Amino acid sequence: MKGIFSALLVPFDENGTIKEQGLREMIRQNIDKQKVDGLYVNGSSGENFMMTTEQKKDVFRIASEENNGQVKLIAQVGSINLHEAVDLGKYATELGYDSLSAVTPFYYPFSFEEIKYYYETIINETNNKMIIYAIPALTGVSMSLHQFDDLFQNEKVIGVKFTDGNFYLLERLRKKYSNKLIYSGFDEMLIYGAISGVDGAIGSTFNINGKRAKQILSLCQEGNVSKAYDIQHVTNDLIEEILDLGLYQTLKEILKMTGIDAGVCKEPFEAFNPDKLEKVRKLVSTFDL
């Protein structure tokens, strides 16, 4: 369960319907071309929170079929609707996903006891492993070391996707929990997570930049931080350009230029501005696709 996991993108048509063949092509791109170690399915990058329950199940099924046991699969089942989270967790478990993951419940100011109950319910109902998804910038939920301690007492909680810039907390977690998996969640900060001893990383840009991410992680593990920084600098220059053009829209446009039916983003995301296509064409040549 260690290494680089792509946060899998999902292609949609203009009506918000999943383009199954395009999704299969994206999965093959990640496994065959980017050589990722695993896929994180139905996370933010897959526009999960704008999909119906049945669409989420379709993505889980298609990813499982196309992967066919080649790389590790993590199913993000988190939802503000606990019953949906449990339903999705059971479905992904039946499909053979290696672990579940769940974003902390959001929007309402849930207490830590309510958050703990949420995770324990999913675990107990599915009997599967769980990776906490901590992303306070989007959920508003910041957990302390003591609260992570509490969650980690459950042996089924095997780790955390740490999408947080609090590197002091990351260092404390790494030191105390050598037996838990810690994944870096910020692509542009991968090197700092790698230096801190993370087990891997999960990111959206790995769909097209997985090879560089693998290099950064490996070089840091080998102690060659200087060379890793060189690659992170290149990576961050590219990420800045992608963010300026629109993250998910641009990733899909890049994949389209390689022949993948990457579709469009779900509304209310805005459509990609065709006036920016020339900038995307220049970007394509900088990735090993």
Binding site for pyruvate, residues?
Answer: 202
Cα 158 off chain centre by: 16
33 Cβ contact list (under 8 Å, min separation 6): 288, 289
- Catalytic entry in 19, 56, 72, 161: 161
Torsional class of 96: left (φ above 0), alpha (ψ -120 to 50), beta (otherwise) = left
Structure tokens belonging to residue 25 = 């092509």
Catalytic residue among 91, 97, 133, 248: 133
Q: Which SS3 state, helix, strand or coil, does residue 234 take?
A: helix
40 classed as catalytic: no
SS (H, E, C) 251-266: HHHHHHCCCCCCCECC
| Whole-number Å distance between alpha carbons of 104 and 116 | 9
Annotated binding site for aceneuramate: 44-45, 163, 185, 187-188, 204
Give which of 236, 259, 249 is closest to 280, Cα–Cα. Answer: 249
- DSSP letters spanning 144-207: -HHHHHHHHTSTTEEEEEE--S-HHHHHHHHHH-TTSEEEE--GGGHHHHHHTT-SEEEESTHH
What are the φ/ψ torsions at residue 105 (nearest 5 degrees)?
-60, 140
Q: Which residues contact 31 (CB under 8 A, 6 or more apart)?
A: 39, 67, 70, 71
Place of tokens 């990351």: 170
Is residue 133 part of the annotated active site? The answer reads yes
How many Cβ atoms from other residues are within 10 Å of residue 267's Cβ?
12
The binding site comprises: 44-45, 163, 185, 187-188, 202, 204
List residues with catalytic annotation: 133, 161
